[in-house]
Structure formats: C-alpha cells, structure tokens
Amino acid sequence: FFYTQPLMVAKVLVKTKNLDEAKLYTIVFMWNGGRRDETKYLVWADSPEPVNEIAINEWNSFNADEMDSCDNIDGKATAEGECYEGFSCLADGQASLMIYVSQCEHAFNLKTTVLKNILKSRGITGVAAHLKGDEALRVLTDRVNELLNYKEETDEPKQPDEEKEEESTSFSTVTGKRVQPETKTDSDEEKEPNNKKPKLK
C-alpha cells in the first residue's frame, strides 16, 4: 500500500517574498494513529495560510471513492491564522491518515539532508562541508536554529530583591505559609520591662 512506501526526503518550499521575516512550517503525514510520521514539506511562509493550502491539496492524490470518516479535508473548519489539520480513513478502512501543519520551532528532529536543503533554500551552502556524522549534524542543526531564532530556555538568575525577601522570611511549621519575622518597634521597646537591677550606691 501507499503508506508502506519508503520515506521520501521532505521538500523545502518558499511561499514568501521576505525570507528574513518568514517562519518555517512543516506539513506532516501521520499514518495509522501515529505509527509512522512522514514530513512531506517544509515551507517558508509569512503565515499558515499558504501552507494550509498545500496540505489540503494533498488529499487530491488519494482516491475519493475509497475515503471515509473524513474530517476537515476541505479545510473549512480551520480558522484564519490557525494551522490546518485534517483526517480520513483510506483504502476502504485499511489505513488512516492525518495531515497537519505546524510551525517548526527548532531543528533538533531534522536529518542532515533536510537541514542542508533548508539552508540551501536560504542561499546558504558549504556549512559543515568538511565534517561527517554527528559533528556535521550538530553544526547544521545549530545553523538552522539560528535562522529560526531558536533560543534554549535557561533559568533566570534571581534578582537581589527576591533573594533578600527569601532570606528575611520563613515557613510556619503549623500553617505551612511564609511568615515575616517579628521586628521590634520603639513602642515595643518601651513596653519591655526593665529587668536590670539598680546599682547599689
């Protein structure tokens, strides 16, 4: 069947006039409830709309007479600005397929050939040309992540005021709530009894 064919290298398409401001989207075929995911296209675009159109047109490659349990294959249920998602059973129920669009936030799950094609679509060649294996993959991934403006999340350092607040508070063993330490005021000092013995003359 068509869903058992070897995976093809995803094609990279450009659907924008301003690549510097464009986002990268993926069109994925998810077969049989996720048993096999196939990235068909990577598309540079300003919004999901032109990418959604490509994804919806992919349904035309299947025999409509053998499709059933269809959901949003025409894309009418997809709101403007949202990424497309559609589903259908194929070959009289022998297979199921979900086609969906998503924005590519990072390049960590992409293969070497796909990474090179993404860079080539931006006019960038020769990256990691003298490297092989994992080292080449790492360099290519880092370069594509730069294009995607990907930044790894890091723990933000605490502000000095926050540190002082934590140092000046404690937790009650009874209520489990944070409590402020008691501070003495001038009036409190006046109320305290003077236990000092007077000096004998």
Asked if residues 107 and 145 have their Cβ atoms less than 8 Å apart, the reply is yes
What confidence tier does 29 reach under pLDDT thresholds 50, 70, 90?
very high
The pLDDT value given to residue 171: 47
The partner residues of 26 in beta bridges, in order of sequence, read 42, 102
User: 183 vs 31, which has greater pLDDT?
Assistant: 31
- Per-residue pLDDT for 48 more than 80? yes
Mean predicted confidence (pLDDT) in 6-34? 91
Residue 176 amino acid letter: G
- The reply to whether the predicted model has a pTM over 0.85 is no
pLDDT recorded at residue 173? 47
pLDDT number for residue 93? 84
Residue 201 pLDDT level (bands cut at 50, 70, 90): very low
Q: At 185, list the tokens.
A: 């005021």
Per DSSP, 151 falls in state -
Q: For the chain, give the mean pLDDT.
A: 83
Helices H, strands E: what count in the chain? 5, 8
What pLDDT does residue 151 have?
A: 86
Distances (CA, A) of 44 to 90, 99, 105, 147, 148: 29, 18, 12, 11, 11
Residues 137-166 have a mean pLDDT of 76
Confidence band for 180, pLDDT divided at 50, 70 and 90 = low
Q: Which residue has the higher pLDDT, 104 or 160?
A: 104
Amino acid 21: pLDDT: 93
Q: Give residue 184's pLDDT band: very low, low, confident or very high (50, 70, 90).
A: low
Q: Between 124 and 181, whose confidence is greater?
A: 124
Structure tokens at 23: 């986002």
